[in-house]
Amino acid sequence: MATKATKLETRLWEGVDRTRLPQHVAVIMDGNRRWALNRLLAGVQGHRAGVDTMRELVRNCRDLDIRYLTVYAFSTENWNRSADEVGYLWNLFQEVIAREVDSLDENGVRMRFIGEIDELAPKLRSTIQNAEARTAANTALTLNIALNYGGRREILEVVKAVARAAKAGQIDAESLDEQRLSSFFYTAGQPDPDLLIRTSGEQRISNYLLWQLAYTEIYITPTLWPDFRQEDFRQALLAYQSRERRFGARP
């Protein structure tokens, strides 16, 4: 007879086919500021509330044996926000990474940071390097955190790297193919995202993983990020599983 825990788990993920889950989920965590303003709070409080959502989503992916999760934490365009908000965000990142690394490590989560990390403050870079080193051997879930990230910037850096390799004789330009080119991107060695979730109802990809999202299924929800919970994730997975992925071919 099924245990109470097994019955509860079945009910929580009711309808989800565990044999057809995405390997890689990407998320644009949008709506933090609106969530806070709707509650007459300072806008930055929405970012702090969103940390709880992030923690729950990592746990859900871990429980479902989804192997890769990539979240958009701070874009290269986010520097255009007010100095107060940007400063608050960097302090929050510093605090959260240092605080969560123990729990993530204990649960087999590997932390990776993608983006222009070299441009960040030395203290934050040190915290990031420590988190990556601490969790490097973990295999249950790879958590990619896109920090100071822009899709066009990534492609530009890939072009530069390929040009340098070609000049050094390490690459034959005529034999370069998509698989070889993919090895220059931040997500090298990982499958491309199967599912992109964007919260808050905005219908754009906002310079996110432009190369990797070529055939990704996109799911838009009006739910603001701090309110995105397990049931919302279940609905995203059900929507994903209802689609026929053809990759340009006929069914």
Residues in contact with 220: Cβ distance below 8 Å, sequence separation at least 6, in sequence order: 198, 201, 202, 203
65 is catalytic: no
d(Cα 168, Cα 148) in Å, to the nearest integer? 29
78 is catalytic: yes
Q: Which of 63, 78, 107, 207 is catalytic?
A: 78
d(Cα 237, Cα 231) in Å, to the nearest integer? 10
Indicate if the alpha-carbon torsion angle 170, 175, 176, 180 is positive or negative.
Answer: negative
d(Cα 239, Cα 251) in Å, to the nearest integer? 18
Structure tokens at 146: 């896109």
d(Cα 84, Cα 76) in Å, to the nearest integer? 17
Phi, psi of 218 (to 5 degrees): -110, 130
Q: Which of 30, 192, 194, 232 is catalytic?
A: 30
Q: 141: closest CA among 208, 199, 60, 214?
A: 60
Residues with a catalytic annotation lie at 30, 78
